[in-house]
């Protein structure tokens, strides 16, 4: 399942196949979603992964992250991965601060490093005033910021973002792209999943997912 | 040497506050002199023995209350200064010993005042030794209570009210103001002290005897006070932090977060307590008022036991309430946190830390449901052996909580809820019920509740322990389910463990 990475590459997925089983026996059938996807992400690269609804973008993302096992294919990852799922996946009754504290422990960050980065994330995404607010009491936009912030916390080499700016207002959307640009300059890589791309110039490359395969351009 | 100096200084500190001395001496005297007669009269109305027994106990009540208040204020007032002393190099055990001796001295002063007032008011009766020793034990037990409240409650108004609340519960539901044979009130801190002090044998103290239980409570109170004072006088800066990324750091963070999240789900806690209460009381209220015969093993023989049906029905409903609620707690804890747990595992959280966090929440929920059920059950059923009845109930709670943990990922929300209700109902409510058939059918031996319910029924009806095999079976179920839950969390971590 895992393979070696060429120089300058931080993530590769080769020949990824994934199908879902639908229905119950004896009318169970397999729905093939990914039919041999090849994706590569280089250092300092910002890549967009686009496709229609149901094209398998989120499935591919979950496989790249390691949350889902592919039926076939190999994946190789270099460095730490930060993952921002499409729907905010958080603990409803924990506050923003408590989420950062908990994920900081999961990432094995020293306490002071976690607190410094947490403060920077609050500052950059502009939701510090909700630090002590429970996740189930946040607005959709602020919850999306928390969702993204948890992926950014460990300053990962590879950032995999699934529809990250869906709930952002325009100001936050611009802040988000400033952050992505900064990460690119620092040699970090970002893969962004979206069902459509409005600012193509912000990406180094765009990969389309069509008929279960990845197509460049 | 240092300790005696500290005691002298601490006592001087207390004595230089004139109000303290006044309270320590005057309150017990006034209480004993003024309140003993009216309390004795009201005790007779409430079904207690009344008369001299109540008047004697007032000395203990006064000494206890004042000892708790004195200890509370001693701890709250000197906490920061005590920490400074330890920081300056004083050995913590010396400081703790000095605080304990000071507290004891203040408690004894209050006890002496109360005893003096009692001597003037009614005399110490036929057994003055018991009266004196009992009053001192009261003071020591309440010293522990005052220390615990002092460690937990900052605000002096809240602290004093809490001391008063505990004291009122203890006194007004105790054995001389109320009836001495209510199972629920046996857990009150001075239940046995009072009975021994007024020479009213409880009849339910077992081999230890009333004096043994009273001394045990006193010793536990001393140990608790020692532990609490040690903990509160420890300098905060000495706290060790775990290495980032270590199993200990991750486990403590995960458990803390899990408890925080669960504690904020107030509706769940209210339901965990309220549902069993209603469940058991309704069962009792709707059961025909008649006797029934149950068969239980005793000394290797199958014995028929005649029992009052409403009581037994209440006793058999408790495990169903406990099992269902525990299964629900397990189910919803896992379902509500499953997706976020997987994300946390992706970020690097170890499966063992996640397992510890979720199991802590599930076990606490199961224990809350058990405590509420048993508190109500105790009002209708007098089990022959309470410790084993409680242990069997906890066994049922833990078993079904783990079943709930496993049902969630297997059947999802809706299917999980239905099955989590169905299994305990069929297992505990029908197949294992001693009311429906004397012994469970052969196939029902394979159900998870079989062993624990046999132990529970045995404990409810007979004093002896005749269900060792059933207990082993119940423990085997618990071990197996724990392993399965561990495997489930390991699987969560593994499927999410793609990151290097």
Tokens representing B288 are: 């025909």
Is the pLDDT reported for residue A39 higher than 70? yes
Task: Identify whether residues B175 and B293 lie together within a single domain.
Answer: no
- A152/chain B closest Cα distance in angstroms: 11
Tell me the CATH number for domain A44-69+79-216.
3.40.50.300
A residues 125-164 lying closer than 8 A (beta carbon) to B: 134, 150, 154
Orientation angle between helical segments B266-285 and B351-380, nearest 10 degrees = 30
Task: Identify whether residues B198 and B262 lie together within a single domain.
Answer: no
- A160/chain B closest Cα distance in angstroms: 12
Q: By the CB < 8 Å criterion, does A73 face chain B?
A: no
* Ranges assigned E (strand) in B172-214: none
The region, left, alpha or beta by phi > 0 then psi within -120 to 50, assigned to residue A9 is beta
Residues of A in contact with B498 (CB under 8 A): 65-67, 75, 77, 81
Q: Is the previous residue joined to B237 through a cis bond, with omega within 30 degrees of 0?
A: no
B500 falls within a domain: no
Candidate from A80, A85, A154 with C-beta closest to B343:
A85
Task: Identify whether residues B195 and B281 lie together within a single domain.
Answer: no
Beta strand A158-162 pairing with A81-84: parallel
Structural contact between residues A122 and A99, judged by C-beta atoms closer than 8 angstroms? no
Q: By the CB < 8 Å criterion, does B269 face chain A?
A: no
Indicate yes or no: CB of A65 within 8 angstroms of CB of B495.
Answer: no
- B265/chain A closest Cα distance in angstroms: 8
If residue A196 lies in a helix (H) or strand (E), which one and from where to where? Answer: none
How far apart, in whole angstroms, are the C-alpha atoms of residue B402 and residue B329? Answer: 9
Task: Identify whether residues B203 and B271 lie together within a single domain.
Answer: no
How far apart, in whole angstroms, are the C-alpha atoms of residue B3 and residue B96? Answer: 9
Identify from B248, B346, B350, B494 which residue to disrupt to test chain A contact, counting A C-beta atoms within 10 A and taking the largest count.
B346
Task: Identify whether residues B114 and B17 lie together within a single domain.
Answer: yes
Candidate from A81, A89, A98 with C-beta closest to B257:
A98
Q: By the CB < 8 Å criterion, does B289 face chain A?
A: no
pLDDT per residue, tens digit, chain B (500 aa), is 566 777 887 777 777 766 667 777 877 888 777 777 777 776 666 666 666 777 778 888 888 888 888 888 888 777 777 777 776 777 778 888 888 888 888 888 888 888 888 888 777 777 788 888 988 899 899 999 998 888 888 777 788 888 888 888 888 777 777 665 666 677 788 888 888 887 877 777 777 788 888 899 999 998 988 888 888 776 654 445 667 778 888 888 888 898 888 888 877 778 777 877 787 788 777 777 778 777 776 766 777 777 777 777 777 788 888 898 899 888 888 888 888 888 888 888 888 888 888 889 889 888 988 888 888 888 777 788 888 899 999 999 999 999 999 988 888 777 888 888 888 888 988 888 877 777 788 888 999 999 999 898 888 888 778 888 899 999 999 999 999 988 887 776 665 444 33
Q: By the CB < 8 Å criterion, does A180 face chain B?
A: no
Residue at a domain's end among B200, B221, B238: B238
Q: By the CB < 8 Å criterion, does B344 face chain A?
A: yes
Residues of B in contact with A115 (CB under 8 A): none
Task: Identify whether residues B118 and B262 lie together within a single domain.
Answer: no
Task: Identify whether residues B35 and B52 lie together within a single domain.
Answer: yes
Residue at a domain's end among B190, B206, B238: B238
Three-class DSSP category at B100: helix
Structural contact between residues B6 and B98, judged by C-beta atoms closer than 8 angstroms? yes
What is the predicted pLDDT for the residue at B237? 46
Tokens representing A151 are: 């992926």
Q: Among A156, A149, A159, which Cα is nearest to A118's?
A: A149
Indicate yes or no: CB of A83 within 8 angstroms of CB of B343.
Answer: yes
B residues 204-263 lying closer than 8 A (beta carbon) to A: 241, 244-245, 249-250, 253-254, 257, 260-261
Is the pLDDT reported for residue A149 higher than 90? yes
How far apart, in whole angstroms, are the C-alpha atoms of residue B287 and residue B16? Answer: 63
Structural contact between residues A12 and A53, judged by C-beta atoms closer than 8 angstroms? no
Tell me what the mean pLDDT of segment A114-120 comes to. Answer: 94
Q: Is the previous residue joined to A26 through a cis bond, with omega within 30 degrees of 0?
A: yes
Task: Identify whether residues B281 and B150 lie together within a single domain.
Answer: no
How many other C-beta atoms can be found within 10 angstroms of the C-beta atom of residue B46?
Answer: 13
How far apart, in whole angstroms, are the C-alpha atoms of residue B351 and residue B341? Answer: 9
Q: Among B184, B203, B187, B189, which Cα is nearest to B377's?
A: B184
- B296/chain A closest Cα distance in angstroms: 47
Burial class (CB in 10 A: 0-12, 13-18, 19+), B157: exposed
What is the predicted pLDDT for the residue at B73? 83
How far apart, in whole angstroms, are the C-alpha atoms of residue B452 and residue B475? Answer: 8
How far apart, in whole angstroms, are the C-alpha atoms of residue A123 and residue A126? Answer: 5
Q: Among B139, B71, B142, which Cα is nearest to B107's?
A: B139
Residue at a domain's end among B198, B221, B238: B238
Q: By the CB < 8 Å criterion, does B347 face chain A?
A: yes
Q: Among A42, A63, A21, A80, which Cα is nearest to A162's?
A: A63
Which domain does B196 fall in, by range?
2-238
Task: Identify whether residues B204 and B300 lie together within a single domain.
Answer: no
Tokens representing B317 are: 């409903």
B423 falls within a domain: yes
Q: Kindly list the distances between the CA atom of residue B32 and the CA atoms of A48, A102, B84, B321, in Å, as whole numbers in the listed order.
A: 83, 55, 40, 45
* Ranges assigned E (strand) in B200-356: 291-298, 301-308
Candidate from A81, A92, A93 with C-beta closest to B499:
A81
Residues of B in contact with A92 (CB under 8 A): 261, 336
Q: Which residue has the higher pLDDT, B79 or A38?
A: A38
Domain extent listing, chain A: 44-69+79-216
Query: What is the ipTM metric for this complex?
Result: 0.76
User: Chains A and B: how many Cβ contacts under 8 Å?
Assistant: 90
How far apart, in whole angstroms, are the C-alpha atoms of residue B36 and residue B57? Answer: 8
Structural contact between residues B73 and B154, judged by C-beta atoms closer than 8 angstroms? no
What is the predicted pLDDT for the residue at A12? 92
Q: In what order do the strands lie in the sheet with A213-216?
A: A81-84, A158-162, A189-194, A46-50, A205-210, A213-216
Structural contact between residues B410 and B334, judged by C-beta atoms closer than 8 angstroms? no
Task: Identify whether residues B210 and B260 lie together within a single domain.
Answer: no
How far apart, in whole angstroms, are the C-alpha atoms of residue A135 and residue A96? Answer: 7
Indicate yes or no: CB of A66 within 8 angstroms of CB of B498.
Answer: yes
Task: Identify whether residues B193 and B316 lie together within a single domain.
Answer: no
B385 falls within a domain: yes
Candidate from B244, B253, B340 with C-beta closest to A89:
B340
Beta strand A46-50 pairing with A189-194: parallel
Q: Among B69, B230, B209, B59, which Cα is nearest to B137's?
A: B59
Give the chain B residue whose CA is nearest to the CA of A135.
B261
Indicate yes or no: CB of B250 within 8 angstroms of CB of A105.
Answer: yes
Angle subtended at Cα B30 by Cα B28 and Cα B31, rounded to the nearest 5 degrees: 60
Task: Identify whether residues B6 and B87 lie together within a single domain.
Answer: yes
How far apart, in whole angstroms, are the C-alpha atoms of residue B297 and residue B302? Answer: 4
Number of domains making up chain B:
2
């Amino acid at each position: 399942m895992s393979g070696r990475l060429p120089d300058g590459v931080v993530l590769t997925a080769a020949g990824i196949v994934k199908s879902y089983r639908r229905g119950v026996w004896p009318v169970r059938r397999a729905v093939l979603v990914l039919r041999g996807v090849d994706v590569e992400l280089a250092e300092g690269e910002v890549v967009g992964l686009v496709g229609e609804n149901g094209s398998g973008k989120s499935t591919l993302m979950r496989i790249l992250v390691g949350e889902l096992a592919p039926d076939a294919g190999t994946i190789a990852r270099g460095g730490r991965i930060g993952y921002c799922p499409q729907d905010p996946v958080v603990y409803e009754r924990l506050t923003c601060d408590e989420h950062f504290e908990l994920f900081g422990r999961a990432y094995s960050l020293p306490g002071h490093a976690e607190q410094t980065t947490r403060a920077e994330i609050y500052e950059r995404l502009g939701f510090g005033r909700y630090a002590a607010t429970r996740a189930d009491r946040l607005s959709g936009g602020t919850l999306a910021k928390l969702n993204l912030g948890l992926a950014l916390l460990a300053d990962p080499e590879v950032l995999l973002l699934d529809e990250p700016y869906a709930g952002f207002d325009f100001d936050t959307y611009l802040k988000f792209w400033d952050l992505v640009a900064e990460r690119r300059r620092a040699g970090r890589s970002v893969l962004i999943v979206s069902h459509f791309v409005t600012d193509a110039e912000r990406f180094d490359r765009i990969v389309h997912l069509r008929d279960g395969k990845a197509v460049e351009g | 040497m240092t300790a005696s100096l500290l005691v002298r200084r601490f006592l001087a500190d207390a004595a230089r506050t004139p109000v303290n001395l006044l309270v320590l001496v005057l309150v017990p005297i006034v209480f004993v002199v003024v309140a003993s007669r009216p309390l004795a009269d009201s005790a007779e109305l409430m079904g207690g023995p009344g008369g001299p027994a109540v008047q004697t106990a007032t000395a203990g009540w006064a000494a206890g209350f004042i000892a708790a208040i004195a200890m509370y204020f001693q701890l709250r007032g000197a906490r920061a200064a005590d920490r400074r002393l330890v920081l300056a190099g004083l050995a913590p055990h010396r400081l703790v010993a000095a605080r304990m001796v000071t507290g004891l001295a203040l408690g004894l002063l209050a006890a002496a005042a109360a005893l003096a007032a009692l001597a003037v008011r009614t005399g110490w009766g036929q057994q003055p030794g018991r009266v004196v020793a009992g009053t001192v034990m009261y003071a020591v037990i309440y010293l522990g209570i005052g220390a615990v409240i002092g460690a937990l409650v900052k605000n002096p108004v809240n602290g004093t009210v809490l001391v008063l609340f505990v004291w009122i519960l203890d006194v007004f539901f105790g054995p001389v103001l109320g009836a001495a044979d209510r199972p629920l009130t046996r857990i009150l801190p001075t239940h046995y002290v009072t009975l021994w002090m007024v020479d009213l044998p409880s009849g339910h103290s077992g081999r230890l005897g009333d004096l043994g239980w009273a001394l045990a409570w006193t010793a536990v109170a001393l140990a608790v006070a020692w532990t609490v004072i040690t903990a509160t006088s420890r300098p905060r800066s000495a706290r060790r932090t775990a290495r980032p990324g270590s199993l200990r750091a991750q486990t403590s963070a995960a458990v803390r977060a899990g408890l925080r999240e669960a504690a904020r789900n107030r509706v769940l806690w209210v339901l965990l307590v309220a549902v069993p209460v209603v469940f058991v009381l309704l069962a009792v209220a709707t059961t025909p008022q008649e006797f029934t015969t149950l068969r239980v093993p005793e000394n290797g023989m199958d014995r028929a036991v005649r029992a009052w049906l409403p009581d037994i029905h209440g006793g058999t409903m408790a495990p169903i309430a406990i099992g269902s609620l525990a299964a629900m707690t397990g189910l919803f804890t896992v379902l509500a946190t499953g997706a976020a747990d997987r994300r946390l595992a992706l970020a690097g959280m170890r499966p063992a830390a996640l397992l510890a966090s979720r199991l802590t929440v599930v076990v606490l929920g199961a224990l809350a449901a058990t405590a509420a059920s048993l508190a109500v059950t105790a009002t209708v059923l007098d089990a022959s052996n309470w410790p084993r009845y409680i242990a069997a109930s906890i066994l049922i709670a833990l078993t079904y909580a783990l079943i709930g943990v496993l049902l969630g990922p297997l059947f999802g929300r809706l299917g999980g809820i239905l099955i989590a209700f169905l299994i305990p109902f069929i297992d505990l409510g029908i197949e294992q019920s001693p009311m429906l058939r004397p012994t469970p059918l052969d196939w029902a031996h394979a159900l998870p509740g079989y062993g624990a319910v046999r132990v529970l029924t045995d404990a409810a009806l007979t004093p002896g322990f005749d269900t060792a095999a059933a207990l082993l079976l119940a423990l085997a179920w618990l071990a197996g389910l724990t392993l399965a839950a561990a495997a489930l969390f390991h699987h969560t971590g593994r499927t999410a463990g793609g990151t290097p």
